[in-house]
Amino acid sequence: MDSERNSERAFFAVLALLFAASTAVTISWCASMSAMRGMPMPGGWTMSMAWMRMPGQTWAGAAASFLGMWVVMMAAMMLPSLVPALWRYRRAVGNTGEARSGRLTALVGAGYFLVWIAFGVAVFPLGVALAAVEMRLPALARAVPILLGVAVLIAGAFQFTALKARQLACCRQAPRRIRTLAAHAGAAFRYGLRLGMHCALCCAGLTGILLVIGVMDLRAMAAVTAAITVERLAPGGERAARAIGVVVVAAGLFLIAQAAGL
């Protein structure tokens, strides 16, 4: 009994340290990014430094810097809602021994975050390409504030879709097959990949808000993290997701009206 309690304390202590470290690094990065002025654009908005190279930096270096920032940021944002899933898995394979169950749980986490790394790899070139187009087309740049509001509105509408409900159910419920998973590295890693895919699809709208508002905006990051955590962990998660959708739709309409000068 004591060994089980010690194992549980160690598990949550490690994850708490990871969360604290990733949050601290993310806040530090955000502070350094906000200290550097972005590029003022037609339409009265400022382009984020996340999609630009620093002086003397190669595009490969810029991509590596963004990806490192993205991974740490995702760890800070997703760990609060991921911990229960990791704990359920660890308990399911607990009969393999403490050390082995710990390694298998770490592999689940590795598979989960690999999905988010792939997401970041796809996002960076798209963000850079869009930024280049906006710099070349002033008319498009002037339309960005309205387009931002439309993107937020679409993200809010996504909260009411059947796809969102299915993926949220997969994220919230312990999979029925978890107790029949083979307790070896390959199965653990594949389970982490599946968990990551469900999570990425479930969070598509909310993550999209973060990308369009500002990938290193601490306020947006805190709001999105809170929304993801609430809809995953609070009782009545689907109702919480719809309530969040109402707030996001209202925010999108407000941004559109503000950009249109209404």
DSSP lists the bridge partners of residue 153 as none
215 burial via Cβ count (<10 Å: 0-12, 13-18, 19+): buried
pLDDT tens digit at each of 262 positions of the chain: 566 677 788 889 999 999 999 999 999 888 877 666 667 777 777 777 777 777 777 888 888 988 999 999 999 999 999 999 898 888 887 666 677 888 899 999 999 999 999 999 999 999 888 888 888 888 888 888 999 999 999 999 999 999 999 999 888 875 555 555 667 788 899 999 999 999 999 999 999 998 888 777 888 899 999 999 999 998 888 899 999 999 999 999 999 999 887 6
| C-alpha 12, offset from chain centre | 21
User: What pTM, to 2 d.p., does this model score?
Assistant: 0.88
As a dihedral over the C-alpha atoms of residue 207, residue 85, residue 244, residue 222, rounded to 10 degrees, the angle is: -60
b/e per residue 45-65 (b: at least 16 CB within 10 A): bebbbbbbeeeeeeeeebbeb
Cβ–Cβ under 8 Å, residues 153 and 249: yes
Which tokens hold the place of 159?
Answer: 């909260």
Q: Where are the domains of the chain?
A: 2-259
